[in-house]
């Protein structure tokens, strides 16, 4: 007896089961990010939520985006965040995070945004695709280097601006004592 496309005794597809699991992981780790006190653990929980999101991207039919998510967000941006935390954080950090003083404003803003998103989702008439539409990697590439080549070039300017800004901010002052000696 082969295992079918669905969870036994139900009509739930295995991929949907995986989606639910990943979504719970995503939301759970995202909640941990904002509730935990230890900021380095917050960073690690953020990485877990990035990873779950990558899994959801694959289930939605775009493995390229998932690989990019893991490569860039987990492999690079999270590392940058962890570096920033580790280079500045001291052991005697405040036990109450600073932004928790704005918790009420934050909660109101979150509820409003959630309401707006829910309203948008409910009022939009979604095109029914039936099955998950697979996106071929080469199609994305063709579009990127054909139709959207200008935005692609702008990305390089953005990245360069980020590098230059980071260098400018983090650059040490030129050693003054060396000039004094000369």
Summarize as ranges the residues that interact with another protein (CB under 8 A). Answer: 1-3, 15, 18, 38, 40-41, 44, 47, 55, 58-59, 63-64, 67-68, 70-72, 74-80, 82-84, 86-92, 132, 137-138, 140-142, 144-145, 149, 152-153, 155-157, 159-164, 166-167, 170-172
Q: What is the length of the chain? A: 182
Report the nearest approach of another protein to the CB of residue 113 (Å).
27
Report the nearest approach of another protein to the CB of residue 70 (Å).
4
H helices of 60-99, where?
A: 63-68, 78-88
Chain centroid offset of residue 137 CA: 21
Q: Between 171 and 181, whose beta carbon lies closer to another protein?
A: 171
Q: Between 71 and 113, whose beta carbon lies closer to another protein?
A: 71
Q: Between 4 and 122, whose beta carbon lies closer to another protein?
A: 4
Report the nearest approach of another protein to the CB of residue 42 (Å).
12
Q: Between 110 and 162, whose beta carbon lies closer to another protein?
A: 162
CA distance 116 to 103: 20
Instruction: Calculate helix-pair angle for 14-35, 39-59, nearest 10 degrees.
Output: 160
Cα angle 132, 26, 6 (rounded to 5 degrees) comes to 40
Report the nearest approach of another protein to the CB of residue 126 (Å).
21
Contact 93, 43 (CB under 8 A): no
Contact 88, 65 (CB under 8 A): no
Report the nearest approach of another protein to the CB of residue 111 (Å).
32
């Amino acid at each position: 007896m082969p295992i079918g496309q669905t969870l036994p005794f139900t009509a739930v597809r295995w991929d949907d089961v995986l989606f639910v699991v990943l979504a719970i992981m995503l939301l759970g780790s995202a909640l941990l990010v904002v509730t935990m006190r230890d900021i380095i653990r917050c960073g690690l929980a953020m990485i877990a939520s990035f990873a779950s999101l990558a899994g959801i991207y694959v289930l939605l039919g775009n493995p390229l985006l998932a690989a990019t998510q893991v490569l860039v967000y987990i492999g690079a941006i999270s590392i940058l965040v962890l570096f920033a935390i580790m280079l500045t954080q001291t052991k005697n950090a405040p036990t109450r995070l600073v932004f928790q003083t704005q918790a009420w404003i934050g909660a109101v803003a979150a509820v409003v945004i959630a309401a707006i998103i829910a309203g948008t989702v409910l009022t939009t008439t979604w095109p029914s695709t039936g099955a998950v539409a697979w996106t071929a990697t080469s199609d994305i590439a063709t579009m990127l280097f054909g139709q959207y080549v200008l935005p692609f070039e702008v990305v390089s300017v953005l990245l360069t601006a980020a590098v230059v800004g980071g260098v400018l901010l983090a650059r040490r002052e030129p050693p003054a004592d060396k000039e004094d000696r000369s």
